[in-house]
Structure 1
């Protein structure tokens, strides 16, 4: 493992998620301040929108407009000319909060949800991966996923890989020209699928909990390990070939490759993720470290 300097890009958040790099800046959501912000590499913030029902995943449609996940009311919102409007309603397909997403070249959105109320410690349940087409139509494209979370699409557009945060694995699909997912398979496995019947039991059985992530040009994934206080670089199959640990015991809950050369890893860090502990605090930070292999694919 390579030793790297980890610097602070921005501080004073409640809980950062959904980091993206675009147009020379980082774009992030903050769950509990409800803000979507653009943050320059030198730490200057511009608040772009406020999402009252909790923002999460971010992405851009082919026309360049920003779309934002609104978690608690299960909607995707579109930001245009400074105004938010509803782009799609996924309520009937969600068992828990709507979460992270990835958008393919055609503008189709692939998005997961929690599957159950993790904040209340409910019994864990599997969830679905949904596709949202440009007309707002919602289609379930995969089911039985253990907390589908950060996803990537390979540069050639042929493969979608989704992290199962509570499943100890990444799962891959062939991504067809019509947007369907086929040939489901395990892309990386860190341990057995947990068998606990409570959230605490499941978390205790996790080896790595893949959260927000980014694909690099060698086909490896940098993943936030939500139970390991680190970001890990994962090879196909599941070997961890590199890691960057967060300072001060902070957890890492999302990451993204960016910067002008694609070799800066931004990490969203906080002491934990629980709403009742984070909402009233401002202890979340954005951390950055230089890595060797640049970003590839989507997002």
Structure 2
């Protein structure tokens, strides 16, 4: 573990392993005192409490399997990628269709306070080694409609909405950028720009903190990196395996990580190598 910001690094405790022996773990989200994340290998959404107790919160055999908690709504949203559906978990545990997305290939998800849900799509079969084609971001609006709002994203990955609901930040893994879009009242995206140039960074899952900086997980470089808008590196947490995604709960940075074998391998991560990690950082979540 290393930090470019000495003042922040002084506040870090030792990294903790909260869960081990998992598969390809992704999409961590902090909600109401618990960490929720997806084990893509098992097709499960798991809830992990501060006391270490865990439960399977939902089962959806989807790869990818990404989740989001809409602000002010106690119902989890789940992307069922192969079936092209946006699901909502009701309080009793049943899963209902929030929106029909259509064709497969859906990846990450983020939501704003207006009821707009953003879902991005990779437009080629990654696991079969198909030739790469740029993907897109769609919005599932509050009225139930689904429409494309951004295109030409080489490999759309993690997404997050700023605290004021004004900006959607999207990771483009292949172009080593975080992109920014202004969000309209109806979920329309405009004013596309490079929010942060990451140099050789390969962003996967992302989260934003209370100072407006972004943490991004980086699988090939085995790290999570905190960057300011523009790309200045503020801190870095080094791992012994690929970092797939991250989330902030208070001043705790939660990281999902596993030993990466490769996208086209039968086992994309080493079986049982998935972990949920935690480290204390200097700036809390937003």
Q: Deviations over 1:212-270 (max 9, x none)?
A: 111011111011012210000011111222100113xx100100001xxx110000000
**In 2: Cα distance, 1:227 partner to 1:278 partner:** 13
Q: Is the 8 A contact 2:138 2:149 kept in 1?
A: yes
Structure 2 equivalent of residue 282 of structure 1: 272
Structure 1 equivalent of residue 6 of structure 2: none
Q: 1:122 offset after TM fit, Å?
A: 1.2
Structure 1 equivalent of residue 229 of structure 2: 236
Q: 1:190 offset after TM fit, Å?
A: 2.5
TM-score normalised per structure 2: 0.90
Q: Which of residues 67, 79, 82 in structure 2 aligns to 1:72?
A: 82
Q: Is the 8 A contact 1:36 1:55 kept in 2?
A: no
Q: 1:279 offset after TM fit, Å?
A: 7.2
Q: Secondary structure at the match of 1:119?
A: helix
Q: Is the 8 A contact 2:259 2:269 kept in 1?
A: no
**In 1: Cα distance, 2:21 partner to 2:95 partner:** 25
Structure 2 equivalent of residue 268 of structure 1: 256
Q: 1:114 offset after TM fit, Å?
A: 2.1
Q: 1:7 offset after TM fit, Å?
A: 0.9
* Gap runs ≥5 in structure 1: 192-206
Q: How many residues are matched?
A: 273
Q: 1:60 offset after TM fit, Å?
A: 2.6
Structure 2 equivalent of residue 257 of structure 1: 248
C-alpha root-mean-square deviation of aligned residues, in Å? 1.7
Q: 1:293 offset after TM fit, Å?
A: 0.4
**In 2: Cα distance, 1:153 partner to 1:48 partner:** 24
Q: 1:124 offset after TM fit, Å?
A: 1.0
TM-score normalised per structure 1: 0.86
**Residue 176 of structure 1 pairs with residue 184 of structure 2:** yes
Q: Which of residues 212, 218, 233 in structure 2 aligns to 1:219?
A: 212
**In 2: Cα distance, 1:109 partner to 1:26 partner:** 20
* Gap runs ≥5 in structure 2: 4-8
After the TM superposition, which parts of structure 1 deviate over 6 Å for at least 4 consecutive aligned residues? none
Structure 2 equivalent of residue 190 of structure 1: 198
